[in-house]
């Protein structure tokens, strides 16, 4: 059985925790898109971790962790992450890397940085991890696939072609040092030596696993609103963040995905630029940011303060619909216990009309949030394990949001730890 764990919003919803939790009953965890531009924060018996490339199943000895073909693979960073886990007494994870995955090169990271510098105040808020240049090269068919590392003749021809193209940009657009072919070849050889023991035909491996009745988790990065087609373009990432892409990015038939767990925060947060209708500012925002997450709302990759806002039913309903949600995991509920009342964005006012349908980006800039205020519960909920034991107003908050988005909230996270989870019977759940 294949289950996908994906984000409903701008990313940073808590997918790492949910994947880590669900991995207990799974066999395989697959990263199927994105790269080191996002971080999944996990708190467990080993401590607190921010994973950037490794799947969130690495803390279980029984899990096979897979880097799928859809991932932007930064090889030194991947193995640096493995080493950092081992240094903190985590057993070395079982790891496989798709022979069809493509490689983030050092010049991708440099080009990302140079372009952000060139754009100045009109930049896209990149994490400068090389993701956009990487995917650009992939679809321009000048990227390096893992399998190509083992073909010396191909590497010689391709590195020459890449140097010609990139050096034209470096020299004439960015006025930066050029790439030398011999140094590029040396880099690729070092990558080959690092990754060789882990390379695998992942699609064939997963096919055998499913025939044997194993459970596979697809771990997404970022969320619906960062999808290049269906998100807040152009302030988006460069690979599809939707569960449907999990089939492509892992090498699976689409009909194998039976459960799609879409993660939503109990409030909203985002890193980087782009439309954010329910955003808060000033002291109100700072208070939520300080209390939020598992140590404040700061990016796991960049360390940048996250933008925060009230829960956005319009964006979340859209995000769940685009993901094909079967279950909603509602996270960081415990954060909101300090509020007397909690506003919720239930609609957007655009040009004097109210809509509950998420619009295209050009109309989002005109949108004003329509807020409905709900009573807070003014107490700590962390440690509660039964839904019935949550304060009444807390349960009413969850019920209200479920009714607004129209998708079943079956899991409620009320703390950062693996065990801080409440399973809920939803009236919307399909029996």
Q: What are phi and psi of 251, to 5 degrees?
A: 85, 45
Q: What end-to-end distance do the CA atoms of the chain give, in Å?
A: 18
Q: How confident is the model at residue 121 (pLDDT cuts 50, 70, 90)?
A: low
Q: Coil, helix or strand for 285?
A: helix
Lowest mean pLDDT among 39-53, 162-176, 206-220, 414-428: 39-53
Query: What would the pLDDT profile of 184-212 be if each residue is shown by its tens digit?
Result: 999 999 999 999 999 999 999 999 999 99
Q: Report the alpha-carbon distance of residue 276 to residue 307 in Å, rounded.
A: 9
| Each residue's pLDDT tens digit, 296-312 | 888 666 677 889 999 99
Mean pLDDT over 112-122 rounds to 80
Label residue 340 exposed, middle or buried (CB < 10 Å: 0-12, 13-18, 19+): exposed
Confidence (pLDDT) at 123 = 59
Which pLDDT tens digit goes with each residue over 230-266? 999 999 999 999 999 999 999 999 999 999 999 999 9
Mean pLDDT for 419-426 is 93
Q: Counting beta carbons within 10 angstroms of the beta carbon of residue 194, is it exposed (0 to 12), middle (13 to 18) or buried (19 or more)?
A: middle
Mean pLDDT, the chain, whole residue set: 93
Backbone angles phi, psi at 284, to 5 degrees: -60, -45
Chain position carrying tokens 């999808």 = 227
Sign of the Cα torsion 7, 13, 17, 18 reads: negative
Span 273-300, average pLDDT: 87
Structure confidence at residue 411 as a pLDDT band (50, 70, 90)? very high
pLDDT above 70: residue 340: yes
Q: Is 229 a residue of the active site?
A: no
The domains found in the chain, sorted by start residue, are 2-73+206-423 (3.90.170.10), 102-196 (1.10.300.10)
Q: What angle, rounded to 10 degrees, do the helices at 181-195 and 75-87 form?
A: 40
The residue-averaged pLDDT of 164-185 equals 94
Q: Which of 20, 40, 294, 420 is catalytic?
A: 40
Mean pLDDT over residues 166-173, rounded?
94
The rounded distance, in Å, linking the Cα atoms of 74 and 53 is 8
Least confident of 250-264, 374-388, 417-431: 417-431
Check: CB of residue 345 under 8 Å from CB of residue 371: yes
> In the chain, what is the greatest distance between 2 CA atoms, to the nearest angstrom?
68
40 is catalytic: yes
11-52 pLDDT, tens digit per residue, is 989 998 999 999 999 999 999 999 987 778 888 888 888 899
Sign of CA dihedral 215, 219, 225, 226: negative
Give residue 178's pLDDT.
Answer: 95
Average pLDDT of the segment spanning 172-184: 94
Inter-residue contact 265 to 14 (CB < 8 Å): yes
* Pairwise pLDDT comparison (91 vs 416), residue with the higher score: 91
């Amino acid at each position: 059985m294949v289950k996908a764990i994906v984000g409903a919003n701008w990313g940073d919803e808590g997918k790492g925790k949910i994947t880590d939790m669900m991995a207990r009953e799974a066999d395989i965890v697959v990263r199927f898109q994105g790269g080191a531009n996002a971080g999944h924060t996990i708190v467990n018996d080993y401590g607190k971790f921010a994973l950037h490339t490794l799947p969130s199943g690495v803390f279980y000895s029984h899990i096979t962790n897979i880097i799928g073909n859809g991932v932007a693979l930064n090889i030194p960073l991947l193995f640096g992450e493995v080493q950092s886990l081992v240094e903190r007494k985590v057993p070395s994870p079982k790891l496989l890397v798709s022979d069809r995955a493509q490689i983030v090169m050092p010049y991708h990271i440099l080009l990302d940085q140079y372009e952000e510098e060139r754009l100045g105040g009109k930049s896209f808020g990149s994490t400068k991890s090389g993701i956009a240049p990487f995917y650009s090269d992939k679809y321009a068919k000048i990227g390096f696939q893992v399998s190509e590392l083992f073909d010396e003749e191909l590497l010689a021809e391709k590195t020459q072609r890449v140097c010609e193209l990139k050096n034209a940009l470096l020299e004439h657009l960015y006025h930066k040092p050029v790439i030398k072919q011999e140094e590029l070849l040396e880099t690729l050889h070092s990558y080959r030596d690092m990754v060789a023991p882990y390379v695998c035909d992942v699609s064939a491996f997963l096919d055998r696993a499913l025939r044997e009745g194993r459970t596979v988790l697809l771990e997404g990065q970022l969320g619906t609103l960062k999808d290049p087609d269906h998100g807040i373009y152009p302030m988006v990432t460069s690979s599809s963040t939707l569960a449907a892409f999990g089939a492509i990015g892992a090498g699976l038939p689409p009909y194998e995905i039976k459960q799609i767990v879409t993660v939503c925060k109990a409030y909203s947060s985002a890193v980087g630029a782009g439309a954010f209708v329910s955003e808060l500012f000033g002291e109100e925002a700072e208070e939520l940011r300080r209390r939020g997450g598992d140590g404040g709302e700061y990016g796991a990759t960049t360390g940048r303060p996250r933008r925060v806002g009230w829960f956005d039913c319009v964006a979340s309903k859209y995000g769940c619909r685009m993901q094909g949600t079967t279950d909603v995991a509602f996270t960081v509920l415990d954060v909101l216990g300090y509020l007397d009342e909690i506003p919720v964005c239930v609609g957007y006012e655009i040009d004097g009309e109210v809509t509950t349908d998420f619009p295209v980006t050009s109309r989002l800039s005109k949108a004003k949030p329509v807020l409905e205020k709900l009573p807070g519960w003014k107490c700590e909920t962390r440690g509660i394990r039964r839904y019935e034991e949550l304060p009444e107003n807390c349960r009413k908050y969850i019920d209200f949001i479920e009714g607004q988005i129209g998708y079943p909230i079956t899991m409620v996270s009320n703390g950062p730890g693996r065990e801080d989870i409440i399973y809920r019977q939803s009236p919307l759940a399909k029996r």
